[in-house]
A and B are shown apart, each in its own frame.
Chain A
């Protein structure tokens, strides 16, 4: 009732405009903050953009180097350099990558398309499997399966992604020879000849690694929530009204736990991003992760800054979706309308 009244009133119309505007403003503020912070970090780091550009063993004369530095504005004060860079960003100019000698925006676009596939599959798989595992473990709390799941998750939580990746590589690719040892397509095959099957085949191990690396959190979270909820009043009442454990699970538990679990899973976008960077590097998968590593190793300032901004955007999107879904799944919040 409250919701309909709001939508019908002028206030409801205002809300429809103000809400997206508020989100956009928040996103913009976030990007400004991230850009300032990454800019400061880069300028304070030992990376010298000039050396990165011309190479450490360059035969260029000092005078020529000074000229390039002056041309790039490297001697200007930091705030001025930041504003200049930010102004270019606003015009869509992210600069040119030193590593790849191509516009940063092109590289990010291309690399993201590879990474998004990897991340989304691993994200969905870890979410669905982790949720199911958490429910099963929580329902048989203290049982063999529960103990196994708990141990498995705690070990995984503390295992670094790159180590899992190396383990998977050495076992499945080297020892068993089931999977390729890296890349996104067969080596030496022309890009036009690469089939969907080739791509999928090369994705399996990185996806597996990333899924396993990020499944622990959601599993343990779901398990914990379920255990808490089992003692909750509405579960007690449903049980007192003759519902079996199976009915309790289907009718009450899954929906009530899915709500916070989905939020946790979306909010873990940031960790997924970190895990992806490591997994990609181990598997030489040509996504944004390997680009980040390459950019960092080569002191590729424009690319690093560009990636930092896009990662922030990505994580922001994850959290935003979590908030919106919260409203969709929880009827109480939907009517209130203040969930974003």
Chain B
């Protein structure tokens, strides 16, 4: 389904809703007394999401997926320093624009139930300061949450209910961009699938969905494009069809290895571990584990367009 839409979009004007260019996030830390050092957790991260598509962001834990979401919404902790550019509908997302759009057009679906205020009833909380009650009822009905749920406190929700409540929070406004940060853990396979199907439906209605997920199978099934993150940067962004087609259709050794490591492809892991943010190598961040490494990999590895996708590897063909 996604291929047709992707090709149909070729001739259209720019439908990019969110564009992240060279995003860098580092955390200031005090080491030994008053010496302040910055730990770069995300660097040169690039991606964009268009209206009507789901961009799935995959990558191992610690690759900076949640921080990306928090950076877009401007809710990083105070000791975080952000560089690079985030544009929303063609405009740089300044502090003021962020305040205007979050909760009305840009919606976050957080990753765990402790993102709910434990002392506020669910209904009041989901409506929030910008939502409306009718949309809440509609969303609850859609997710099989009984009307009584509105009167409950978060501690009474089961894990699955809490998830559905969190997803409902995105529907009380008029979303143009949904950033879902691991929305499915704790849901039954049925419900997880239903959730992704619902994201699909929202995307088909013109919403841009940035879906950060660990559930590669569902991402493969429901997204239009996939961005593979490693050590805080984008290694490859490619149409989902390429990921489905297997490693030969992909561009970067990391995404190839990622596909190989999936259960259905024989669970073949590669040696080594993701480098620690405080100890990043020069040049390509994946070089340490890459089977195709050469001496040139120690140099800069800019992201470049290749075969309808983007890749950060000088050897990719």
Identity of the chain A residue whose Cβ is nearest the Cβ of B69 in the assembled complex: A240
Give Cα distance in the complex from A244 to B100, angstroms: 10
Chain A, residues 251-275, CB within 8 Å of chain B (1/0): the string is 1100110010000000000000000
| Residues on the B chain within 8 Å of A242, using CB | 99, 101-104, 128-130
Q: Does A236 contact B (CB under 8 A)?
A: yes
| Residues on the A chain within 8 Å of B107, using CB | 241
- B binding-site residues for A, Cβ under 8 Å: 70, 73, 75, 77, 99, 101-104, 107-108, 110, 112, 114-120, 128-130, 153, 155-156, 169
CB distance B75 to A236 under 8 Å?
Answer: yes
- A binding-site residues for B, Cβ under 8 Å: 1, 231, 233-234, 236-244, 247, 251-252, 255-256, 259, 329-332, 335
Give Cα distance in the complex from A88 to B73, angstroms: 70
| Residues on the A chain within 8 Å of B108, using CB | 237, 240-241
| Residues on the B chain within 8 Å of A241, using CB | 102-103, 107-108, 128-130, 169
| Residues on the A chain within 8 Å of B112, using CB | 233
Q: Lowest 6 A-B CB distances belong to which pairs?
A: A242-B103, A237-B115, A241-B103, A332-B155, A240-B108, A331-B153
| Residues on the B chain within 8 Å of A1, using CB | 156
| Total A-B residue contacts, Cβ distance less than 8 Å | 76
Identity of the chain A residue whose Cβ is nearest the Cβ of B112 in the assembled complex: A233
| Residues on the A chain within 8 Å of B156, using CB | 1, 335
CB distance B118 to A256 under 8 Å?
Answer: yes
Give Cα distance in the complex from A244 to B99, angstroms: 8
Give Cα distance in the complex from A252 to B115, angstroms: 12
Additional pairs, 17, CB under 8 Å, beyond known A240-B75, A251-B129: A233-B114, A234-B114, A234-B116, A239-B73, A239-B102, A240-B102, A241-B130, A242-B130, A243-B103, A243-B129, A252-B117, A256-B118, A259-B119, A330-B119, A331-B153, A331-B155, A332-B153
CB distance B77 to A231 under 8 Å?
Answer: yes
| Residues on the A chain within 8 Å of B104, using CB | 242
Give Cα distance in the complex from A256 to B117, angstroms: 8
| Residues on the A chain within 8 Å of B73, using CB | 239-240
| Residues on the B chain within 8 Å of A243, using CB | 103, 128-129
Identity of the chain B residue whose Cβ is nearest the Cβ of A251 in the assembled complex: B120
| Residues on the B chain within 8 Å of A239, using CB | 73, 75, 102
CB distance A252 to B110 under 8 Å?
Answer: no
Q: Would you mind naming 14 contact pairs between A and B with Cβ atoms under 8 Å apart? A: A233-B110, A233-B112, A239-B102, A240-B102, A241-B108, A241-B130, A242-B102, A242-B103, A243-B129, A244-B129, A251-B120, A252-B120, A331-B153, A332-B155
Identity of the chain B residue whose Cβ is nearest the Cβ of A258 in the assembled complex: B119
Give Cα distance in the complex from A266 to B300, angstroms: 62
**A contact face: mostly helix, strand, loop, or mixed:** helix
Give Cα distance in the complex from A244 to B119, angstroms: 19
Give Cα distance in the complex from A330 to B108, angstroms: 27
Identity of the chain B residue whose Cβ is nearest the Cβ of A239 in the assembled complex: B75
Give Cα distance in the complex from A334 to B88, angstroms: 45
| Residues on the B chain within 8 Å of A335, using CB | 155-156
Identity of the chain A residue whose Cβ is nearest the Cβ of B124 in the assembled complex: A251
Give Cα distance in the complex from A240 to B102, angstroms: 6
B70, B112, B156 interface centre (most CB from chain A within 10 Å):
B156
A233, A234, A251 interface centre (most CB from chain B within 10 Å):
A234
Identity of the chain A residue whose Cβ is nearest the Cβ of B128 in the assembled complex: A241
Give Cα distance in the complex from A221 to B117, angstroms: 20
CB distance A238 to B77 under 8 Å?
Answer: no
CB distance A234 to B118 under 8 Å?
Answer: yes
Closest-CB distance, B148 to chain A (whole angstroms): 10
| Residues on the B chain within 8 Å of A240, using CB | 70, 73, 75, 102-103, 108, 110
| Residues on the A chain within 8 Å of B75, using CB | 236, 239-240
| Residues on the B chain within 8 Å of A332, using CB | 118, 153, 155
Give Cα distance in the complex from A231 to B76, angstroms: 9
Identity of the chain B residue whose Cβ is nearest the Cβ of A253 in the assembled complex: B117
Give Cα distance in the complex from A175 to B156, angstroms: 61
Closest-CB distance, B289 to chain A (whole angstroms): 33
Give Cα distance in the complex from A329 to B153, angstroms: 12
| Residues on the B chain within 8 Å of A255, using CB | 119-120
| Residues on the B chain within 8 Å of A259, using CB | 119
Give Cα distance in the complex from A149 to B155, angstroms: 35
Identity of the chain A residue whose Cβ is nearest the Cβ of B166 in the assembled complex: A237
Closest-CB distance, B224 to chain A (whole angstroms): 24
Give Cα distance in the complex from A237 to B114, angstroms: 10
CB distance B116 to A237 under 8 Å?
Answer: yes
State whether A256 and B119 are in contact (beta carbons under 8 Å apart), knowing that A231-B77, A237-B108 are contacts in the complex: yes
Give Cα distance in the complex from A256 to B110, angstroms: 20
Give Cα distance in the complex from A272 to B174, angstroms: 53
Give Cα distance in the complex from A21 to B63, angstroms: 56
Instruction: Name the one of A247, A256, A329, A330 contacting B129, with C-beta atoms under 8 angstroms.
Output: A247
Identity of the chain A residue whose Cβ is nearest the Cβ of B111 in the assembled complex: A233
Give Cα distance in the complex from A256 to B99, angstroms: 24
Give Cα distance in the complex from A244 to B156, angstroms: 27
Give Cα distance in the complex from A75 to B126, angstroms: 74
| Residues on the B chain within 8 Å of A238, using CB | 117, 128
Closest-CB distance, A6 to chain B (whole angstroms): 14
Give Cα distance in the complex from A33 to B115, angstroms: 45
| Residues on the A chain within 8 Å of B101, using CB | 242
Identity of the chain B residue whose Cβ is nearest the Cβ of A256 in the assembled complex: B119
B73, B75, B118, B119 interface centre (most CB from chain A within 10 Å):
B119
Instruction: Name the one of A237, A251, A331 contacting B110, with C-beta atoms under 8 angstroms.
Output: A237
